[in-house]
């Protein structure tokens, strides 16, 4: 049995679509279908069933899911042992959007230039989504906001950067005190379903501020553009990205500002540990 057939099966199940699996794996939809057919022929049972435009695992498919994940994990571990002392193989890395636009591009360019034989799959998502994907072993590591609850002892957290919250305001309001702007200007809220958004909400409560709220968005990039357009002010971590360095906005300091901690979370024992450390070193440098 070829491991790429198992990898294809798991990718289809994860995304519920042969077309999306084709895009993720960089092969044609016909090749995806052929791999699934070959795996089903070897198992002797159908593994996928259509449900409208989606596909889902059959009872037999569900039965082999967990074991398939373990098999692929063991194969990656074998490759790592064969390349002892080197970063090698595949890394499934989750990342929040601000890491994708800020921390990762130059770091990944450095990794690919200096480390041949590396294959990195990126999964975007919110911190909560990536945390769950990590627990479900869908990814090997995640760059996310530090969880607002105790981290299990089976996981290891490494801080990358700490971002104090600021008041983001249109540039022509830069000389107005932040507390006045919070109370007087339309407020664009950082989505409270995000862990970073919870920090902003807790700060507002601690300062007993009831802003004139009119929008709640889960994208810091979108909030920044809205503020630049003069549509309001917002509380957000002082994150930086080359894509947004030229925004015409003011970042005003806050009294007793909270900090959003961005770090890398991974299992304490993972086959791609050397590769994870290589990426982390590239980010820090």
pLDDT tens for 259-274 read: 999 999 999 877 677 8
What fold characterizes domain 1-82?
A: Arc Repressor Mutant, subunit A (1.10.10)
Q: Kindly give, in sequence order, each residue whose CB lies less than 8 Å from that of residue 169, ignoring residues fewer than 6 positions away.
A: 176, 178, 181, 185, 227, 233, 249, 250, 252
155-197 pLDDT, tens digit per residue, is: 999 999 999 999 999 999 999 999 999 999 999 999 999 999 9
pLDDT at 178: 94
Question: Given a cut of 80, is residue 52 above it in pLDDT?
Answer: no
Q: Kindly give, in sequence order, each residue whose CB lies less than 8 Å from that of residue 143, ignoring residues fewer than 6 positions away.
A: 93, 94, 95, 96, 99, 103, 104, 160, 262, 263, 264, 265
* Range(s) within the chain of domains with CATH label 3.40.190.290: 88-285
Q: What span, in angstroms and rounded, lies between the C-alpha atoms of 92 and 278?
A: 14
Q: What span, in angstroms and rounded, lies between the C-alpha atoms of 108 and 113?
A: 8
Q: How confident is the model at residue 213 (pLDDT cuts 50, 70, 90)?
A: very high
pLDDT at 7: 84
Q: What percent of the chain has pLDDT over 70?
A: 93
The whole-number average pLDDT for the span 4-33 is 86
| CA-based nearest residue to 232, from 244, 223, 243, 242 | 223
| Cα-Cα end-to-end distance for the chain | 41
Write the class of the CATH domain 88-285: alpha beta
pLDDT at 76: 64
* Range(s) within the chain of domains with CATH label 1.10.10.10: 1-82
User: Given the structure tokens 């059959």, which residue do they identify?
Assistant: 58
User: Given the structure tokens 């519920």, which residue do they identify?
Assistant: 16
78-129 pLDDT, tens digit per residue, is: 665 555 545 556 788 999 999 998 999 999 999 988 887 778 888 899 999 9
pLDDT at 79: 61
**Residue 56, token pair as written in the block:** 């889902």
Question: Given a cut of 60, is residue 279 above it in pLDDT?
Answer: yes
> On the CB side of 37, how many CA atoms lie within 13 Å of its CA?
6
Kindly report the backbone phi and psi dihedral angles of residue 65, in degrees, each rounded to the nearest multiple of 5, phi listed first.
-60, -55
Instruction: Provide the whole-model pTM.
Output: 0.72
Query: Would you call 277 helix, strand, or coil by DSSP?
Result: helix
Taken in order 73, 74, 80, 83, the sign of the CA dihedral is: negative
Checking DSSP bridges between strand 118-124 and strand 54-57, what pairing results, if any? unpaired
pLDDT at 143: 97
**Residue 170, token pair as written in the block:** 């249109």
Q: What span, in angstroms and rounded, lies between the C-alpha atoms of 80 and 76?
A: 6
Computed over every residue of the chain, the mean pLDDT equals 88
């Amino acid at each position: 049995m070829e491991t790429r057939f198992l990898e294809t099966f798991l990718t289809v199940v994860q995304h519920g679509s042969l077309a999306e699996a084709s895009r993720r794996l960089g092969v044609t939809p016909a090749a995806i279908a052929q791999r699934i057919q070959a795996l089903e022929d070897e198992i002797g049972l159908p593994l996928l069933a259509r449900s409208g435009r989606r596909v889902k695992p059959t009872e037999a498919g569900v039965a082999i899911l967990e074991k398939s994940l373990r098999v692929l994990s063991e194969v990656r571990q074998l490759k790592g042992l064969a390349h002892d002392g080197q970063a090698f193989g595949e890394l499934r890395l989750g990342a929040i959007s601000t890491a994708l636009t800020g921390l990762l591009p130059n770091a990944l360019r450095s990794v690919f230039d200096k480390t041949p034989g590396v294959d990195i799959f990126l999964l975007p998502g919110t911190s909560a989504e990536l945390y769950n994907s990590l627990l479900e072993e869908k990814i090997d590591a995640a760059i996310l906001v530090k969880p607002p609850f105790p981290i299990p002892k089976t996981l290891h957290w490494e801080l990358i950067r700490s971002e104090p919250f600021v008041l983001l305001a249109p540039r022509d309001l830069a000389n107005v005190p932040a507390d006045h702007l919070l109370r007087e200007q339309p407020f664009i809220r950082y989505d409270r379903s995000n862990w970073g958004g919870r920090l902003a909400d807790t700060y507002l409560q601690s300062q007993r501020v009831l802003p004139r709220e009119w929008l709640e968005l889960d994208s810091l990039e979108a909030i920044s553009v809205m503020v630049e357009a003069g549509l309001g002010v917002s509380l957000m971590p002082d994150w930086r990205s080359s894509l947004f360095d030229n925004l015409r906005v003011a970042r005003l300091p806050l009294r007793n500002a909270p900090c959003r901690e961005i770090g890398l979370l991974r299992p304490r024992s993972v086959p791609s540990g050397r590769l994870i450390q290589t990426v982390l070193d590239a980010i820090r440098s």
